[in-house]
């Protein structure tokens, strides 16, 4: 069993990684929608 402090630290790191991944995904989604709009315009 891990001490409580280490457990919370690990949980926090996973949360921050999830947040950063979400931000990256949002960025990609925005780029994709923009490119799709540009393609449909042509």
Query: Is the pLDDT reported for residue 6 higher than 80?
Result: no
pLDDT at 18 over 90: no
Q: What pLDDT score was predicted for residue 1?
A: 60
- In the three-class reduction of DSSP (H, G, I as helix; E, B as strand; rest coil), residue 29 is classed as helix
User: What gap in Å lies between CA 24 and CA 13, rounded to an integer?
Assistant: 17
Dihedral sign for Cα 14, 15, 17, 18, please. positive
Tokens of 15: 């949360």
Decide if pLDDT at 26 tops 90. Answer: yes
Q: Report whether pLDDT(3) > 90.
A: no
Q: Which residues contact 10 (CB under 8 A, 6 or more apart)?
A: 2
């Amino acid at each position: 069993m891990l001490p409580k402090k280490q457990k919370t630290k690990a949980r926090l790191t996973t949360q921050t990684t999830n947040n950063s991944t979400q931000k990256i995904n949002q960025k990609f989604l925005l780029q994709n929608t923009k490119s799709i709009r540009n393609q449909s315009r042509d």
